[in-house]
Amino acid sequence: MEQGRLMVCTDTSRKPTGGCLTIAAVTLCLAVTARREAVAQEWVDGRVFGPFVCRAEFSLGPWQGLLAELGQLQRDLVDYLDVPPASQPIELYLFRDKRSYDRFLKRYLPKAPYRRALYIKRQGPGQVFAYRSREFQTDLRHECTHALLHSVLPVVPLWLDEGLAEYFEVPGNQREFDNPHLRTLRWNLRLGIFPKLESLEKKSKVSEMGRSEYRYSWAWVHFMLHGRREARAELVGYLADLRCGAPPGLLSQRLCRRLPKLRSRFIEHFKTCKRGA
């Protein structure tokens, strides 16, 4: 048994059970048995594309589109966030079904918190584990976003990590107008519920992140990527500071300095954010 320093990042925001563990929130010291050699399952297909080294218990032929999307995801993170491409390989382990996935986790990662999909970062390459389910593609985009970010950033605040993963978990052509969060967020704003970024920044534990917090984190990412140019520039600068180890401060304060009347600009953004507007 190998004593590993295990970082687990999972998406369960769509699941009734459990939260999403992220590198910023939880660094778990677990005894794990998923040694590299133990991960040698009977994989029937394997591909290398972009930074991803993928092994699957099923033929990847029908999943070419998804693999291409994951390759594009890497390019999109570079383009949108001005971060460098992943500096080391990211391993994907894809299981034919829940039963096989469960069996693997029970055997090799018995102490990892159970989730539908997992991103694990120890001292070696980041690893993503997922099985074919209705949410398979969403899970992979979400977890791979975490993996790509953490391969080039030493730390990512919990709320931002999840906000970005929620943003990039839908297909590229749905990110701006068709994320399921958008409708609910608009209702929140109509009802006078404003997602305070300062509150999100205080969340340091996965247990503090519920469905609303995922949605609000997504909303701030959406605002920064599709709202005023200055907001996006501030996000890019913030990530650059994280990457080079400069004290980044709080993004909420940076945005307030850069964009006076931040609250009303945020509300206005979601009022006017419409296809073809």
Label residue 272 exposed, middle or buried (CB < 10 Å: 0-12, 13-18, 19+): exposed
Nearer to Zn ion, 141 or 269 (CB): 141
Residue whose tokens read 């074919």: 132
Compose the 8-37 pattern: x for residues touching Zn ion by CB under 5 A, - for all others. ---x--------x-----------------
Residue 33: how many other CB atoms lie within 10 Å: 14
| Contact (CB, 8 A) for 211 and 188 | no
In this structure, what DSSP letter does residue 131 have?
Answer: E
Minimum separation from the CB atom of position 268 to Zn ion (A): 29
Nearer to Zn ion, 19 or 51 (CB): 19
Residue whose tokens read 């534990």: 205
Minimum separation from the CB atom of position 230 to Zn ion (A): 27
Residue 69: how many other CB atoms lie within 10 Å: 17
CA torsion sign for 183, 174, 121, 154 is negative
Minimum separation from the CB atom of position 58 to Zn ion (A): 24
Minimum separation from the CB atom of position 121 to Zn ion (A): 12
Interface with Zn ion (CB under 5 A), residue total 3
Minimum separation from the CB atom of position 235 to Zn ion (A): 18
Using the contact rule CB under 5 A, the part of the chain among 7-15, 69-77, 182-190, 197-205 near Zn ion is: 7-15
Minimum separation from the CB atom of position 150 to Zn ion (A): 11
Distance CA 28, CA 244 (A): 24
Compose the 163-202 pattern: x for residues touching Zn ion by CB under 5 A, - for all others. --x-------------------------------------
Nearer to Zn ion, 32 or 165 (CB): 165
Residue numbers 150-169 binding Zn ion by CB under 5 A = 165
Nearer to Zn ion, 60 or 170 (CB): 170
Minimum separation from the CB atom of position 10 to Zn ion (A): 6
Nearer to Zn ion, 18 or 71 (CB): 18
Nearest residue to 14 (alpha-carbon basis) of 121, 101, 148, 141: 141
Q: What is the dihedral of CA 203, 207, 209, 210, to 10 degrees?
A: -150
Nearer to Zn ion, 19 or 195 (CB): 19
Nearest residue to 83 (alpha-carbon basis) of 248, 242, 218: 242
| Contact (CB, 8 A) for 73 and 51 | no
Nearer to Zn ion, 91 or 161 (CB): 161
Distance CA 8, CA 16 (A): 19
Using CB under 5 A, list all residues that contact Zn ion. 11, 20, 165
